[in-house]
Amino acid sequence: MSTFRTPRRRARPALAAAITVAAALTGPVSQAASSTSPQAAAGAPSLGAAGLGDPIFPLDGNGGYTVGRYLLDFDWQAPKTPFEATATIKATATQALSRFDLDFAGNTLHTVTVNGKTAAAERDGDELVITPAKPLAQGKDFTVKVTYTADPTQLRHRDDAIEDYGWIPTPDGTVLYPQPNGAKMIFPSNDHPSRRAPITFRITTPPGLTAVANGELTDRTEQADGRVRWTYDSEQPLATQLAQLAIGRFTFVDGTGPHGLPIRDVVPDDLVAPTEQYRKLTADHIAWLEERLGPYPFNRYGVLVGDTDLGVALETQTLSLIPKADLLGDQVSAERNLVHELTHQWTGDSVGIKSWSDLWLSEGHARFYERLYSQAHGGVSFEDTMKTAYANHDQWRHDYGAPAEPTEPNLFKRMRYDGSALVLYALREKVGQETFGKIERAWVTKYRGKIAGTQDYIDLASKVAGEDLDGFLHPWLYGAATPPMPNHPDWVVNPVQS
């Protein structure tokens, strides 16, 4: 997600209250221990954890099972109009389960079955607590089917760069903004960035509307009543926060990137020509990033132009959401946002994060390469932006936490962007540009299609550099004060203002 954006409207105060739902979910995270209880260890059925204990969102994600695939059937009707939906979740029990949870918020629940049999289901805040008719044995594959009425007006609000998230309305449909934990407003899921699975989307639309989602269009079927069913396969596993589903009057603009990579932009009909100048640069952006990070990690890519006043872009996997305003302004600003979200396909999408405290690895890398690219293409000096970030770093530590120590209200504040890019800049100054480049390519290669955390990066950087970098990076990532910048003894940190 990029925080560099064109000016937008003020956030709607009425939405701020929606996020307080999370505050009510302060039940003991000790439930996560159920998977290691004596009963679970002995193989007796026990409760799956209601949350993964993430330090930022403790009740996000669920224990006791892994998801193998989501199959989502959406019978779309019209903008801001509820519609019937079914989520079929194929999973495997990682412990003997008497009960388990799905993250699910804000929709009207109808039925829940496990392996075709009716299961007891109870709503508890953002948790859907499911008790199957028979306990599930450890290692057993099972299928959960949830029918519900989806509400495409569901939105929540954060007082950081995210602002509004969930279902984002457009004049003739919707786009999705699930980050950070808004997928639960779209479909029942294991809603945490460390829990990834492929998704099959089957969306039925009225005549004249198009549906698009992550991955490949595998089928388009016109039905007898004139409605059209669109089927997409994400192809690779993805985190729920990276799911995309958009409906509207779209034109598909096909192109080709490096090595024959399919590029498919999805553009509202009346925005095809106005956005073409910047969209057609994507192939060049991919080639530039491949020189630094290695081969593009997915089977396809494209830009989804959001016909909305949404103020921020999002790196939804293989189909980045870019608000129209970002593509209707000056070229330097447009390219910053395009390169930022594209970089995420390597770092944040392909290499996922273990916990929300690792967000600096995702946003810091995206900001680093965004600014590096911009410097060579008409933007401001990268070194100057890093010097400015250095001057403000102690203040950001005070206000928003160190790069790898965010708090929930400050998760998407400035420290996770320029403040985290500064850590990577400091590392490059420490080890040199050549070694830094080797670290970066090793990072996205070793953890391609996997999740990784802060210590994983420190360990890999140390191995590639041939020196222990733990003592260097820990103060940058966790310390209360900003360390000296290598090679820049003249750089000064401004005093903290309370």
- Among the listed ranges 27-36, 151-160, 442-451, which one has the minimum average pLDDT value? 27-36
Per the CB < 8 A criterion, the answer to whether 148 and 108 are in contact is yes
User: Residue 341: which of 361, 317, 315, 367 has the closest Cα?
Assistant: 315
| φ, ψ at 381 (rounded to 5°) | -60, 130
The DSSP code for 140 is: -
Neighbour-count burial of 16, counting CB atoms closer than 10 A to its CB (0-12 exposed, 13-18 middle, 19+ buried): middle
Neighbour-count burial of 134, counting CB atoms closer than 10 A to its CB (0-12 exposed, 13-18 middle, 19+ buried): exposed
Mean pLDDT of the chain: 93
The DSSP code for 271 is: G
| φ, ψ at 123 (rounded to 5°) | -85, 135
d(CA 401, CA 478) in angstroms, rounded, equals: 8
Q: In what order do the strands lie in the sheet with 141-150?
A: 117-118, 108-114, 141-150, 83-93, 65-75, 199-205, 228-233, 216-222
Give the per-residue pLDDT at 4.
58
Give the per-residue pLDDT at 22.
34
Tell me the per-residue pLDDT of 347-381, one tens digit each, with 9 for 90 and over: 999 999 999 999 999 999 999 999 999 999 999 99
d(CA 351, CA 298) in angstroms, rounded, equals: 12
d(CA 157, CA 13) in angstroms, rounded, equals: 9
d(CA 414, CA 420) in angstroms, rounded, equals: 9
Tell me the per-residue pLDDT of 32-72, one tens digit each, with 9 for 90 and over: 434 444 455 457 999 999 999 999 999 999 999 999 999 99
Residue 354 amino acid letter: K
Q: Mean pLDDT across the stretch 71-79?
A: 97
Tell me the per-residue pLDDT of 91-116, one tens digit each, with 9 for 90 and over: 999 999 999 999 999 899 999 999 99
Give the per-residue pLDDT at 3.
66
Tell me the per-residue pLDDT of 305-331, one tens digit each, with 9 for 90 and over: 999 988 899 999 999 999 999 999 999
d(CA 257, CA 279) in angstroms, rounded, equals: 12
- Residue 15 pLDDT exceeds 70: no
